[in-house]
Structure formats: C-alpha cells, structure tokens
Structure 1
C-alpha cells in the first residue's frame, strides 16, 4: 500500500492511495503529494483490513496484514517475535485532542500474544514495519519447556492515546523506557497550566525523564515500595491561539494521587493495561506541555528469547586434541582482543563519510555491548537510499535510516559472525553530497554492497574486539552521511551516560537570582581547579553595588563586578578557610530587579554582608567537598543578578606544562589550541583554493566549492564564512558586504566633489608639524578611550560598529577631534564648527583606530606618528614572536628538534615523490596533508618549544610564536610540494608584518582620501587564508585552554566545559537560556552553516553531533535577535571553539 497525505483546511487528509498485488496488478485513486510512504506485507502475509481515522474523507490509514496460510496451533517454547512497533505521530482533531497513530494503541488490535495478524503503521507515521513471525517447530521427545513469558520484548512497552495540541517540539521516552522499571517519583510543575513533568527512575538504570519548562509550583509524589502509577488524567485548552495542557493528575495502585494546573472542559484519562505501569511520556513541549501521552511498561522484566540451539549431531565424535583455533561457527573478527585485556568502552564511533546535508541521526544511545546482529540490509540503486540493521539481542531492535527506495541487498549473519568493516563512496547530486555506494564485510569473509562506486571513498575497520552495532550520520530520502557505531563484542559494564567528563562535575554553577538587566558576566573562564581565594569584598547600602573576589593561588587575580558606590566590607580568609554558602535577596527598584542583599559565609563560621534584606531570598550552599571559586550573573552600576560557581576542593588542575609522554623529540607537554590562534589581523580574508587530486579528493582542511575546487575551511582567526571570504568572529556577512558596497558608492559621490587631497599631502610634509599634530591627537584619543570604556561599563557591550555609533555621539568626536585634525592640516577652524568631509573622514579613521588599537597607539608618540604615517610597528621584546630560523640558529634543544623536524619534512615529501615519480602535485598535497608527520609530529614538536619559550616570553607570546612556527612549516611543505626546494619559510614573518602595515596604511590613508578610492581599495585588499593547520591531537583541559574557546558580547558569556581525548565521541552542547525572548542559535562548522537550534526563553535545549563529523574544524555559534532589514540586532554574541580530531583507544 502506498499513501500520500497533505493539509486541507488546516486538517491532514489522505490525498492518494495505491494498492499492489502479488501478480503485479494495482489500483489507485486521488492526487499525489510530496508527503508519502509505502508499506509492504511481511513475508507470508496479505492485506486483510484497515485501521485509522475517517469522516467524510479518510484522515489517516494503516494496513492490517493477515497470515496467508492459517496458523496451526502447536506447543510453543517461546513466543514468535511480533512486528516492529511503528513510530508514533500525532494529529490534532478540531477539538485540540491529539491521537496516537501507533498500531499498538488501536482498540481493534489483536491480543498481545496473537501473531497471525500484523498491523502496519498508519500512512502519516511515515514508517514501514517489516517483520515476519517465524513458525514454531515442534520437536519429538522434547523436554517440557519452562514457563515462558506471555509477551515479547517489543510488546513490553506500549503507548497510550495522547492529548493536547500540535504545537511545540516532539519528545518521547520510548527509546529509554524498559520493562521491569522501578519508578521512584513523579513531579508536576504547574501554575495556571502545566509547565513541566518529570519521572524519576531508579532501576534497571537510574534516569530522569523531564519534559517542558521549569516554571510553576512543584508537586511531587514519591512512591512506596511496589507502588505503581497506573492512570493519568489530562485537561487541555487554548492559550494565545495554541492548545496547551492545563491540568495533569496521576493515580497509583495504592490509591494515592498527585495533580497540578487548572481543570478545563476538554479532558480525558487513560489507564495502564493489566500488568503495566507508567514508565515514561511522549508528546510535544516547549516552555510548557503542549500535548502528552503515557508510555506504559511491563511491571515484570521481559528479556529477549534465547537463540534456539542447533540440532545435535547424529553421534558424538572422539574429542580432538586441544586446538587454539576457533571453530568456524564461533570465529570472532580480526579485532577480537589477542592480549586478553578486556574492552573498557561499550561503544566507539568511527570516522564518518559524506556531506553536511539531511537530518542528523544516531544509534549510539541504543547500541550496547554484547549485541547480536542478525542482518544488515542496504537499499540502493544509483545511490544509497537507506540502511536497516536488525539486532536480536540482548534487546531486539531495528535501526532504519534513509528512505524506502532502492533495491534491497540483505546479508544475514550466522552465529559468531560479525560485521567488521565498511567502505563508503560519496559524490555530488543536485548540489548535495550523497552516499553513492556502501559495502560491508564480516569476519567470515562475507560481504553486502549497494549503489555505484565513485572516486571519492573511504573505509573503516572495527577496533580490536568490536563489531558494527549501529550507525550515525545524516539522511533524508537518501543517505547523506554515514559513520559506524562500533560495539564491544564482549559485555562491558555500562558507566554513567556521558554528559561530560568527571572533570565537568568538578565545576558546578548555582542558579542565578535577580533580574535580567545589566551586562552579563562570569568568572568561569578564569577559574583554575584547586585555586584559593584570599578575600571577598562587598560594596552596598540600600542595595548591593559591587562584589569582588581576590584570588591568591595559583596566580593573584581580582574579579570585580558592579559599580563604585556603597560602603565597603571585606572578609579576609585564613589559610584553609573557604566560602561555602551565599545568601541572596532581591527586589524591585524603579521598575528594575536588583540584588538588595548578599552574605557570604565560610567553613570557619565567619561571614560578610552588605545591603538590605527583602522577602524574596535564597541561600545557596556548596555541594559537599566544594568551595566558592567564582561568580556569575549580571551587573552594571549595581549588581542585578548573582549566582555562585562552586569547584571541588580536591580537584587537580590540568596545566600546560604537565608531561604527557615522550618520543624522539623528548618529553611532551600538553598540546592545547591556546588563546592567540583566533586573532585576526584584517577585516576579512579570501579562502585559499587548490585543485582536487587524481581521485577527486581534497587535502585535509579543505572542502568542495561550487566551482569544483577545494576551498579552505574558515580558520580560527576568521571563522565566519562569507561566500569566498572568511570574516572575524562576531562579524556579519551582510554587514561586510554592505560596507564594501558603501565604499564603492562613496567613490562615485566623492570623486565629483573633492579637491583637497593636495592640501592634505602638503600639510603632512614637515616633521615638526607632524609631531605637534601627534601631541594633540594623543590627548584626544586618551579622552576618547576613557569615554568608550565608560560607555562599555554602563551600556550593553557591542562590536566595533556599535562602539562607533556611541563614539560619534560624544563631544570628543563632534568637537575636540575635528579641531585637532584641522590644526594638523593647517586649516582654519570654521567659526560655526561646520566640518568639511575631508576632516570628518580623518576623524572617523582615528576613531576606528582608537577603538581597535587604542591603548597601543597612545603608549608612545612614535606609535601615534606611525599611525598617521601609514606604519604599524607596535611591538615590544616581551611580546614579540620569533622566526623558525632564529630557533634553529640559536642551537637550543628546541632549535635542534626543529632542525630534525624540517629534515623529516623534506624527507617525507621527497619520499612521496620517489615512490610515486609520476604523481601530480595535487596528489602529493593530499597524501602529505593526511600523513602522521602533519597530523602528529609537526604539532607536537612545535608545541614542545613552548617549554623553552615560556622561560623568556609571556604565555600569549609563546603561543603566538608556536603558531608562527607551524605556519612556517606549512610554507616549507608547500614550497617542497610545488618546487622541490625551500627557503625555510623566511618570508612568513615579513609577509605577516607587511600585511599589517599595508592594511593599516590603506585604512589610514583612506581617511585622508577625499575621493575614497584608497579606502575602497582597503576594503578589497585582504590576505588569503588557508585552513587552521597542524593543531594535532589535543590533550585534556578546559575548553578555554584546550580548544581556544572565546566569546564576544553577552550571548555566550559564562560558557564552560571540558575536552577529553577519551570519551564517547559526541559533541554535546547544552543551551541554558536566561533570555526573556526566544532566539535561534546558528551553528557553523569550518565556516559553513551547519545547523540551527531554536532556544525558547528560559529553556534548556541540548544539541548533539559527533566528533568525527565536526573534527579538525572550527565550531562557531552566533545568536542574534533579528534587527532592521535582517541585520543582526540586539542581545547577541558569538562563541568560537576548535573541534579536534578524535582518537580511538
């Protein structure tokens, strides 16, 4: 049966149906739509009826398949497997009540133990459920079977009807809910309506299922031993045009109940089937619950039926001599552990292949160790349409991905056979990267494949002791990207689900209390585990004006938040004393919520307080073994919002200089991305392009563009993609283009009206006048910097464009600076202060330079003169960077290692040339880009030089020098590939320097160019940027150190986390909103748009992808409320972080 559906007058209807027979005949009616699906009878079954919903038309429809040959009842040793349960979809009727389309909930469904009738999913469920029930076989002289389960694993979880509306986001606990659960409690969060609901599970695996928001009053029912939740009552109604759940009530087997919300006329109730209890929920939610249904789970634990043993041999043979070889029936893959060491991880993710299109999927959360995989099916024609993996134990489940089209190629595995390899081919189709071909191999040498092969291909092999247990990737009607979830063949004790590493738990943030005003702040980026505070200072009178923490170790730091008013009170901490609680009071003042009172208490019973108490208050106490290490919240002239950052007292910090091992280049220290690699030296860069190699493959760090070239992924210093350019963090592509367009338009206007360029040139002809000019400008810039700094602490922070808007409203810019410029030009100041265009262009230029390089410019008169004479040389010995030749010539240990490294680089390129003398340059480039030399040796050796550099340089200067060394080695490699010779990268530092000089000179000269021609040129003369290179494997550390996390503006202030080399292979982002408005976070990978995540006001949203899909690229997040004409508006900001290459252990 094929069904098509669509919308008509706000209701979903069936638009088209087609039925086909075993003889190839068919009948159809209606009109086809884009939303469609096809279901096929399981083997040995035929269409025997329908189920669904109707009225004057058919609204939803599913097929009831019946066995063709009547089933003969016989003694059964185990129940036959029932059909796979279809996914649940919901469709709202006119009353707002939603109904489940799962076949298992239909009133007309057959009894649970019946296997002669199979119901398909309804058409609107968009899923096909193929499953045939095997005929039980009766054996002669069989030993009486033990009592068997009355239901199967598939039927041990059932879904009720759902109630509510079609709004919000889908959720379901069906994948996690299991039979034999022990439920501890149920909680309803409700006020006028139901905000949220939570179910706490104790066993077999502790979990909490929470849905909806966090508002409302908390009503919790804690269950006694053997008490079960057996009923649910739901009331719903309209709010602002959306159907919401207004009331919930749960009843138990002991007669207890819990409820929340307000009752309405639209209501219904559901009860658990006999032998079942409430085990989870499904429905739709946002800040509130929009619709909800119950997931009933079997009270008794239901396990998968054991695999039937093969028939015994006719006669036993004499026992052979001991043999270390395994028999064919129990052969394990080449990956089976040979050392006898057990696997410590149940699941490992492979590399992935394909493109960034389609919808993400992953079997990782459902795949387990000790799985029994029964079959793998590929659906493919010209490309791969879909995949299906059948798992028979320990829990029977089916993983299906992609579309239903294509020819089916199925591989059925025998006992002891495992899938241990995958080969993937991919290519372009209609501008999207698709999987064109897949091939899987087993430890027995069997294979299954489908699709058409392409030049772009890759393969993965199971790690030792693992097998294919699932997939992850992206799909739609076809497979767009695919990777393998490897699962341990042997059982591995499950650990807590990875929500982060143990180190993540060493930092805990309390909620914040107060109002949404002021500027966001957080101390989390500067916290070092194990640090100690020396004092805390409060300033306040009627309210709290400021709070200051003084850090004593490992380095002295001061974190101050708020204004300068109020009376100061300081508590000095004794050795071993720490702050373990904070009391916060808040209230309204002039329509804004402020923190009115704060009190800190210590482990020794001492305290300090400031402000006045209010009725709204809370006391936050440190978790056991934790201490106060920082604060987060919002502040401006006063403290508007406050929360505590607790850290574990016994936690040990990860330090850059920690030894991580040894190699030919000596002992290694931690390799971190560091703080300087994201520094941009221009307004944009053009993305470097290179050609494909002979197999249509791009070098590492490059992707395909529309012109069939390999184009560089945007680097850390310019992480935002803008067509063929990359622009700096927090910049916007539309603004960047508008700026270039405006500069071209200004030329057309100014050329006809200007005529003062000769005057400008003459005015700068004498050194005496220049220095007098510099002295005046220094004073003006100091005033301007002071003013901007004041505005930044008293108004929301912004980027350069926002600061320019603020600066242009000040008297410093409107009066003082133009007067100074006129004096510099030798022009008479107009009596009514009506400035000419040329003067204001110079003013604008100086303002921009003051915002970007203010402190550096006014550090000396020379720097001001350098700015005005188109030169940039703002460096000092302690913050300078060095060149590769300097290290080599210095004959230090680092220099010797670099000499060895350059020798290895030269040898590696020569070796590729010698082994493949006819290889094209592009083939060599791809080979070298993915070699161990590039992936490991170069990053590690250059990083090791940090040990020596930090003895003489600041930490930032050491990182900058390391990054320069890596860039230099890249130039050497490029020279060797292109020409077989190298100048040891001597030109790198000079090129960088001349870029800075040329760019700053063009910008400055542009301010003195009446026609704007030079300024226009400065908008288009930009560096060419390649991808971020030679990062290597990143060692454990917090995200700021290890991955170079950097935030701009307020949207992501306070973000934190931890990178570990050993983990679950998942990139997990948790967005916790404190915004009063709904926003969308745009996720970019390597400069290209990757995903969009809607985050509702005050909601928490989790987004996941895999390390293998995002690795070796920048991960860039931006969040803006929409502004005028689609430009970024207020309340925004960005976050930048590097995603390293994953390592399989």
Structure 2
C-alpha cells in the first residue's frame, strides 16, 4: 500500500468529530463502483497509531488544524492560480466601437496606480485611454482619428460621474436575480462541480508533467492553490447552508471536509464528475446528503450536460471573482486602517491584476469564437475584463457603496453574483450571455488597460491590435516578441512628395515628433519599459493649402505590451501621400 503521509493521518484524527463520524466513507466504493488507486476508503477509517506521520522527506510534523493552516496553506492573496493558458493572448482585431467615447475614471491620489495619468495640479489620477478610444479628451477618451473639441471636453462632470456610478452594483443586478432563483441544493451541487473540476484539472496536469510525484508532495502543492485556499472552503460553507464568514476561517469541520474531498480527487480523479450517479455518491460522502436528495430531475439533467462540457470559462470566472473578493478582504485585515489609495496601489501590483484576469478571460476566447466569430469573441472578452475592473473598484471603496449598503451587505450581494456565475458555468450558458447581461451598464466607462496581460508573439495586425485609418500610414506592419532586449524600433519609409512630421503619442501623451523627408526614411527608438502597458498612437502633420501644416490624412494605433522577459517591438511605418 502506498504511504499517504500527513493528510491521511491528520484526517483520521477527526474520526471522533461530528462530520467525520457521520460521513459514509464507503459511499463512493459501494454506490459508484469506483476502483481506488491507493488506500481504500475502508482502510482510511482505521484508527491511527499516532497523531503524526512522516513525509517522503522524513520530516515528522504535528497535524492539528492550526499547524496545517499556518504551515502549509497559502492565503487568498498568495495562493497560486491553477489556470493555465489555453489560447494565445493577442490584443485582437481592431473594430470600430458603436460609442463615440468613454468616460475616464478618476481618483484623488498622491501616487497613481499602473495605467493612470497624473494631473499634478489637482493631485488626480485619470485612467489612461484604451486602444478602442486612444485620443485623450479631458474627462473622456474618443475614437481614433477624432479631434478633441472643447465642447466635448467641458461636459458637465455630473453626467460622467452618473455614468460611472451605474457601472457598479447596477451592472450585476441580472446576475443577482439569476442567483436568487436557485435552490440551496442547486447552488451546492453547481458550485461543487466547478470546484472539483478545477482541482481535478490541476491534479491531472501535475501528474502529466511528473508521473512519479508522490501524493504527499502533490497535496502540499494543492494547499498553495486558489482552488483549495478559497474555492473549496467557500463551496463547503455554501453546501452547509451557511453564509461565508467575514473572514474565511478554516474551521475543523471545513478542514476535515476539504481533506476528504482532496483524497477523493487524488484517488478517483475524473471519475468523480463522469456521471451524476458518481457525483451524487461524492456529494453524499462529503456529508451533503440533503443537497444530493433535494435536487430535481430537471436540475440533474442540466448538471449532467454541464459535466460533459469542455470549456471551463465561466467556472474560472466565478473562481476569479471569489479570489478578488477574498484578496481585497485579506489586504484590509492585514493592515488595519489601510486607505483606499493604498489598497488601489497594492492590488494594481498584484498577480491577480497583472496576469490572472487577463489569463482567465483570454482562455474563454476559443469557446467564444465557436459560439460566434472572432470579432465578437474579442469584444466579449473586453466586456468581461471591464467587469472585473468594476468589481475591484467597487470593493476598494470603504464604508458605504453608492447605494448606501454596508460592506457586509455588499459581501452578501457578491454572494449572489458568484451564484449567478456558477449557474451560467454549470448550465452551459454561452459566456457571451454574461457580456450581454453586463454590457448595458459598463460600456460607457473606459476599459481597464491593466488587464491586457502579456501578449504572445506575432506579426499579424491582431497581435497588437494595429490599425490604420485613411491613407497616411496604410500598409504599416509590426512584429512583437515576448522575449527580447526590450527595444522598441520604429522605422519610417516615405513615398510622399512632401516632408512630414509624425507625432508619437504614448498613453495619449505626445512623447516625440519625428521629421520624415519626402521619399526618405527615418528611425526612432525607445524601450518596452517606457512604452509598455499603453497605447502607441501616431498622427501626421503635412503641408497643405498655402503650405500651412495640417493634421488630417490618417492615424495609426497599436498596443505596446508589458513584458517580464524584455520584449521586442519593431514597427515599419509607411508614410503615404494623402
């Protein structure tokens, strides 16, 4: 028999606890006819001869719940995401927005987070303009090739603030309504399916990479993942019919149930969620018999359909929402009195914002394309990313939200949002429906550019969202590599009959002007460290009537990514007669 080590010994210690004594440890074997790979469940109930066990490293440790949590469990803020990239992350093909502008979010702060412009006179941080609206125009960002007119820039601020205000809890009303329609049994089974699928997916991935990895080491790895640190405890509370506590405390009951579930994931893997009969046995084994018995035939049919789906898009979105919520809560509890400014800065530098939101939403692309087309899929991804920006911003606000609810009540609202996302993911609802539900409320607010993530290599226009309007720069091309020397090189080649000046703007601010002689060439260099994480926007000034310079003729826009491994961007710009 394979040595199981600490988790088994620790779990056996709970035989006398209420949950351990009431669990039918043979349920899976008897009802589901599953064949275990290592210690049978009957063997797992035998009383241990000691309260501790040794790992493969021969380290002997106590296994009381406090030690387990303190020494082996990560926290929501430090937990490792188990989601891996399944689709190349490109900016996507450029498309003309149906809106003419978006409103820029603003905060009065001493230090600005990433992707914010600072106005030193007013000590205000303004959201940088996204690639869809690359031209800065006061409180707004407007479309490519647009001129910022005074009357647009001087719009009454109350209008903009009202628009931004609707992009908070109003956006999630449909999800709340969807969640409230669910019975407790459906909430439990749906969420449990999502969490176990995530855990099993991670276990399978790790075993594929290292088939000889011991179960002890694999469990230690699981304790560091978001699936076990946040998702599993939250679903256990839901299945127990209890509200998630203000601090996600891992009580003995929650820990014992978590350990039992992890044992099953290691033993049976995909078999657990291969059919309703086997999943029902698993639910009963976890001591959630009432939920397994109360679910109706129609709900079972929907759940069985969900078991067969390949896409984990909405399930990962739900998990990500949980992590955002719990991470911000952890930040508050770890630093009593932390200000909104400090909280906004801290979360802006987290892996959650810099990598995870981009990764999870981008993994939805393949499924979205299969349900619609490439252009619609990328628009839906943008809506999902905006949604997380709204969630983060609203949770950062301390005291009371715009509608006067307290933070505890706000947490209750997010419970229903989570439930709504669980419903969508477990019922095979097309993720585009999520965007449809939310787009009405968030389309007027500029999308958060910090969720672009690291962009994969490519030379197609869709790699960086390169787009030219009119003739001035038509025929231009780019080449991007994630790994490189950090250089940004722009080469200009003119076929114009007149000399021109090209304005180079990064994040809507002009940083250079390059003169290109008629029929000549020019070159301009910078680096990814300076330009990364912002739009790059080119316009042209060309002598027109009576030799006076004019700004017309066209423009070029693309996204310059951040790159942890240097990156390398080359842009070949054609300067044409127009």
TM-score by length of 1: 0.25
Bigger Rg, which one = 1
The structure carrying a bigger helix percent of its residues is 2
TM-score by length of 2: 0.49
